Structure 1
Amino acid sequence: MADLDAARHAKASLRTELAGRDGVQAVGISHTGDGYGVRVNLRTEADRDGVPSSVEGVPVDVRVSGRITAGG
């Protein structure tokens, strides 16, 4: 279980680690049943390679969301 502050710190670290990687659509915080985690949205399943399952003890949830674009 991670508290919100730990999840925020892990999110910042993972965002830096994944910066510029093709296929990473978003990095955010997610609520788990007993605390918080980091959520990574990817374009395709193939983009999952190298995304850790946890950062600084905070769980990482990976979702394949496809391409995210601004609505208009």
Structure 2
Amino acid sequence: MDHLNTHTLEEARAAKSRAQEVFEALVKVVGVGITRVENGYGLKVNLLTPPPADAILPTEVDGVPVRLEVVGQPKKR
């Protein structure tokens, strides 16, 4: 059996608020969303600025994989 991500949408939704708490304590978070990861779902944490070079950030929350993206300050449309 391979180790591809097979987390369900429900599992990703359940981990979303926890991820918000975890990452806000470590870096400046713009928002947390759900994204496709391999054959399942994961979390996408949007950051205001790149994390410090020495920051140790989790790669998963409650077993759900996390992807980071620096998006900067959201702009009004």
TM-score (norm: length of structure 2) = 0.74
SS of the equivalent of 1:69 reads coil
From 11, 15, 30, the counterpart of 2:20: 15
Gap regions ≥5 residues in structure 1: none
Cα separation, 1, equivalents of 2:27 and 2:33: 17
Gap regions ≥5 residues in structure 2: 1-5
Moved over 4 A (4+): 19-22
What percent identity do the matched residue pairs reach? 34
Cα separation, 1, equivalents of 2:59 and 2:23: 13
Q: How many residues are treated as equivalent by the alignment? A: 71
- CA deviations on 1:21-66 (whole Å, 9 max, x unpaired) are 7621110100122000000000111268354110111000000111
Q: Of the two, which has the highest radius of gyration?
A: 2
RMSD after superposition: 2.2
